[in-house]
Amino acid sequence: MKIKGAVLREANRPLTIETLELEPPGQGEVLVKYVHTAFCHSDLHFLLGEMGELVPYPFVVGHETAGVVEEVGPRVTRVEKGDHVTATWMIPCGRCPQCQRGRGTICTGNLWTLSAGQLPSGATRMTDKDGGLVFYQTFVSGFATHMVIPEEGAIVLPKELPLDQACFMGCCVPTGWGSITKKAQIQPGDSVAVFGMGGVGLNTVRAAALSHANPVIAVDIEGSKEAIAREFGATQFINSSEEDPVERIRLETGGLPVEGLGFLGGGVDVVVEAIGDPGAHIQAYWCLAAGGKLVVPGIIPAGQEAPMQLTFMPLQEHSILGTLYGSISTDIDIPRYAHMAMTQDLKLDKLCTKHFKLEEINDVAEAMKRREIIGRWVCDLD
Amino acid sequence: MTRCIYPMPEWLEESKKLYDSSFEKKLQKISGHYAYRIKAEPSWGIDKDLFQCSIMDAGKLIEMRFYTEEEAVKEADFIMAASAPVWKNILTKTDKFVAAFMARRIKLDKGNPVKALALGPYAGTMVDSLTQVELVFPDDLSPEEFGQFKAAFAEYRERAGV
Ligand SMILES: [Zn+2]
Ligand SMILES: [Zn+2]
């Protein structure tokens, strides 16, 4: 069938909206009509080539999506036609050492087909007008009207959850919530700071607030993000373009300024660095209390370095913990987050701040580069 | 659909005939001289290593046949080696080329590993081009059919010098 998709032919070039040929779903695969796809900061990393050529060109971009199952291939048992689903950008193989230890988000079994732009089965399903192969971005390729994905990557969501909120279940909700509950394993009363008030950062703040963290300090370089950060549960907001977040956080949490040493005492129990910026990384580390954890879902662009002075890492038992996809189990946790979105106030209705058309996607990428996006902008694929 | 037994020469001959423009387009980024070393598997009638080679030029299949070891070593840009059962798994899509390569089930005897891995995204399409015939494997055959295959295959190798 013919579909429309946003194709990246090489890094640092505009996306082209192309008509592509999509093969029907094979064994264990489903055809999903994508309805809404949000633009995530990781998509910008791909556009700028900052993922270090993770996926072969050309590929259809996007990975935070929700849609409706339109057709199922042979031997599909987990989803049915008409189901509302999100698509996961990592699919555990179940057999590799990481999967066997319950760490499916860092599955190495399927990492290789992911990095070959294929589905876990090794299949590719798209060709362009010249008959050339078009690859997948991380098993999803969300900025397209339809896509064939494996049933293991299709997580069924309640139909009552609006699809322009359901798309957030594909990336920023699990990454934010998992950073707090899985990786930081936060306890009520823990103090938290979150760097970067994008989609992941806001969900991190929300997870911290609903986990009874206190204070929940939001840090962003754009003062315009204060209102939405507070809406999601931040008790304080620091505009890091105007003041040093390390000094403010250490002072406000009981630290004493000491000549030559910086600060004695103070700091927060958990800092989440949700930007992927070397400078923010270093600042985030210096906000840690003794025994504190720096949790890092943000991806520093390939080739950039963050020089860190780590004398206090053993002396104060600081931990630096990378997390991918919030270290969740996609199968178990995404339906739980969807259920929470129906029964608790995750603020997802406040997260979608603008709808756009597929043809406007390059403008959206430019707006993200200029840091103008507050909340998440969502593409309408109808 | 023609029925071919792996790795009889008819399999490559038929696959070459069936290699059409849709494959040329899908594989337009692939050029080079690729050799696949099928390691000896006596229980499959393969008494010594066999070299399956294809020459690609911007997706066009210039040549595909079995080579002698000397030809393969001299002419191929890449030699990828695996046991016959591993190649069966690749050809039946129960294993994936990239995963097998990274796990060293397929070893690179010759060539740059990063460049060989660049074949990964196209491996599924290459497998499709080799499985347009009904491909059966020696371990799928009845004892009687296996006996016939074994004799015919040995005769072919003797005659062709591969
Ligand atoms: Zn795995
Ligand atoms: Zn994302």
**pLDDT tens digits, residue range A87-131?**
999 999 999 999 999 999 999 999 999 999 999 999 999 999 999
> Could you give the angle at which helices A278-286 and A245-252 cross, rounded to 10 degrees?
20
Is A259 a residue whose pLDDT tops 90?
Answer: no
Largest CA distance in chain A: 70
Phi, psi of A299 (to 5 degrees): -100, 115
Asked if residue A302 has pLDDT above 90, the reply is no
Q: Which of A117, A121, A131 sits opposite B121 (nearest CB)?
A: A117
A127 in contact with chain B, both atoms CB, cutoff 8 A: yes
- How far apart CA A80 and CA A103 sit, in angstroms, is 27
Q: Take residue A94 and report the two structure tokens written for it.
A: 């179940």
Would residue B18 count as lying in a domain? Answer: no
Q: What angle do CA A192, A273, A194 make, to 5 degrees?
A: 30
The alpha carbon of residue A71 and the mean position of all alpha carbons in its chain are separated, in whole angstroms, by 27
- The answer to whether A135 contacts chain B (CB < 8 Å) is yes
Contact B76, B35 (CB under 8 A): yes
Domain extent, residue B106, equals: 27-160
- In A241-316 the beta strands, taken as DSSP E runs, fall at 256-258, 262-264, 268-273, 288-296
CB A382 within 8 A of CB A35: yes
Looking from the CA of A327 toward its CB, the CA atoms found within 13 Å total 17
How large is the average pLDDT for residues A255-273? 91
Averaged pLDDT for residues A263-268? 92
Domains of chain A in start order, with CATH, are 2-170+347-380 (3.90.180.10), 176-325 (3.40.50.720)
Say if CB A361 and CB A379 are below 8 A apart.
yes
Spatial distance between the Cα atoms of B116 and B128, rounded to a whole number of angstroms:
19
Please state, in angstroms and rounded to a whole number, the distance separating the CA atoms of residues B148 and B85: 20
CB-CB neighbors (< 8 A) of B127 in chain A: 122
CA distance A143 to A37: 6
Is position B2 within any domain? no
SS3 state of residue A230: helix
Q: What is the pLDDT of residues B62-119, one digit of tens each?
A: 999 999 999 999 999 999 999 999 999 999 999 999 999 999 999 999 999 989 988 9
**How many Cβ atoms are within 10 Å of B136's Cβ, its own excluded?**
16
CA distance B96 to chain A (A): 6
3-state DSSP assignment of residue A359: helix
For residue B83, is it within any domain?
A: yes
> Would you say residue B3 lies in a domain?
no
The bridge status of strand A154-157 relative to strand A84-87 is antiparallel
Q: Give the residue-averaged pLDDT of A269-292.
A: 97
Q: Taking a C-beta distance cutoff of 8 angstroms, is the pair A297, A157 a contact? A: no
pLDDT of residue A51: 86
Flag whether pLDDT at B58 surpasses 90: yes
User: What does pLDDT average to over chain B?
Assistant: 96
- Report which bound ligand comes closest to the CA of A201: 2
> How far apart, in Å, are the Cα atoms of A268 and each of A18, A195, A222?
48, 13, 22
pLDDT of residue A262: 80
The pLDDT score that the predictor gives to residue A183 is 98
- B interface test, pick of A112, A129, A139 with most B CB neighbours within 10 Å: A112
Amino acid at site A228: I
* Residue A365 contacts residue A11 (beta carbons within 8 Å): no
Contacts of A252 (CB under 8 A, 6+ apart): A215, A217, A236, A266
| Domain assignment of residue B9, yes or no | no
Chain centroid offset of residue A218 CA: 18
- Name the one residue in this structure whose structure tokens are 């840090």: A219
CATH value at residue B130: 3.30.1050.10
pLDDT score of A300: 92
Q: What is the mean pLDDT of residues A323-338?
A: 98
Query: What mean pLDDT, rounded, does chain A reach?
Result: 96
For residue A339, what is the DSSP state?
H
pLDDT surpassing 90 at residue A260: no
What's the average model confidence in pLDDT over A262-268?
A: 91
Tens of pLDDT, residue by residue over A227-257, are 999 999 999 999 999 999 999 999 999 999 8
pLDDT band at A261 (very low <50, low <70, confident <90, very high): confident
Q: Is the pLDDT of residue A362 over 90?
A: yes
Count: domains in chain B: 1
Mean pLDDT in residue range A190-217: 98
Task: List the single best residue of B60, B122, B129, B131 to mutate versus A (max A Cβ within 10 A).
Answer: B122
- Here the ipTM equals 0.83
Q: Quickly list H helices, chain A.
A: 41-47, 97-100, 111-115, 163-166, 172-178, 199-210, 226-231, 245-252, 278-286, 312-315, 330-343, 348-351, 361-369
**Could you give the CA distance from residue A158 to residue A339 in angstroms, rounded to a whole number?**
8
A35's enclosing H/E stretch is strand A29-38
Q: What spacing in Å lies between the alpha carbon of A99 and ligand 1's midpoint?
A: 4
SS3 A160: coil
Say if B20 falls within a structural domain: no
* Residue A265 pLDDT greater than 80, yes or no: yes
Closest approach of chain A CAs to the CA of B30, in angstroms?
11
B19 domain-assigned:
no
Please confirm whether the linkage preceding A174 is cis (ω < 30° from 0): no
The confidence score (pLDDT) of residue A258 equals 87
| Phi (first) and psi of residue B92, to 5 degrees | -100, 5
Average pLDDT of span A171-195: 98
What's the number of CA atoms in the CB half-sphere (13 Å) around residue A290? 8
Flag whether pLDDT at B51 surpasses 90.
yes
Residue B32 within any structural domain of the chain: yes
The pLDDT tens digits for A35-75 are 999 999 999 999 999 987 889 999 999 999 999 999 999 99
Q: Do A112 and B123 touch (CB under 8 A)?
A: no
- pLDDT tens, A186-199? 999 999 999 999 99
Of A113, A130, A133, the CB nearest to B125: A133
Q: How many residues does chain A have?
A: 382
What pLDDT was estimated at residue A263? 86
What letter represents residue A322's amino acid?
G
A131 contact B CB<8A: yes
Number of H helices, E strands in chain B: 8, 7
